[in-house]
Amino acid sequence: MDHAEIEILKSMQRSAADRAEVLSRAVRQNMRHGEFDMVTIAMQEVASAAWGVAGGLAEPAELLTAAEKALDLLDTQTHCMMERVMLRETIDQATMECHDAIPDDAFVTGPECLAAHMADLETESDI
């Protein structure tokens, strides 16, 4: 990877809005060349989902799905290496954001769940 590509990845990591802007720039770059229509279309869906996440209008899972779909589509192309790198970075970031969105107490063991349920029943019977 050259210096410019490293800088692109660094800017994607700064914030959700920066990531969306970088993905939008990739769409604009590919729009300049008719032979890259497939790349443009794939990246446009990811950029749109990234803006939704940045604006709080979409969940990271939507971005993750769009990026995975786009990467599958671009894996058949021979000329879009940087876009693939950007999509892999987006997938990594969105996966982390999806995990961060799960509350720590979301996964409760069976005995803990049963104890909480029994406590709720006792509270209801006291009323």
Q: What is the pLDDT of residues 25-72, one digit of tens each?
A: 999 988 888 777 888 888 999 999 999 999 999 999 999 999 999 999
Q: What is the mean pLDDT of residues 15-24?
A: 93
For the chain, give the mean pLDDT. 84
pLDDT, residue 74, reads 86
Is the pTM higher than 0.75? The answer reads no
Nearest-10 Cα torsion for 16, 95, 28, 78: 160
In one-letter notation, the amino acid at residue 42 is A
- 58 neighbors 52 (Cβ within 8 angstroms): yes
pLDDT, residue 4, reads 86
Q: Report residue 78's pLDDT band, with 50, 70 and 90 as the boundaries.
A: low
pLDDT, residue 114, reads 67
Cα→Cα distances 121→29, 63, 73, Å: 61, 40, 52
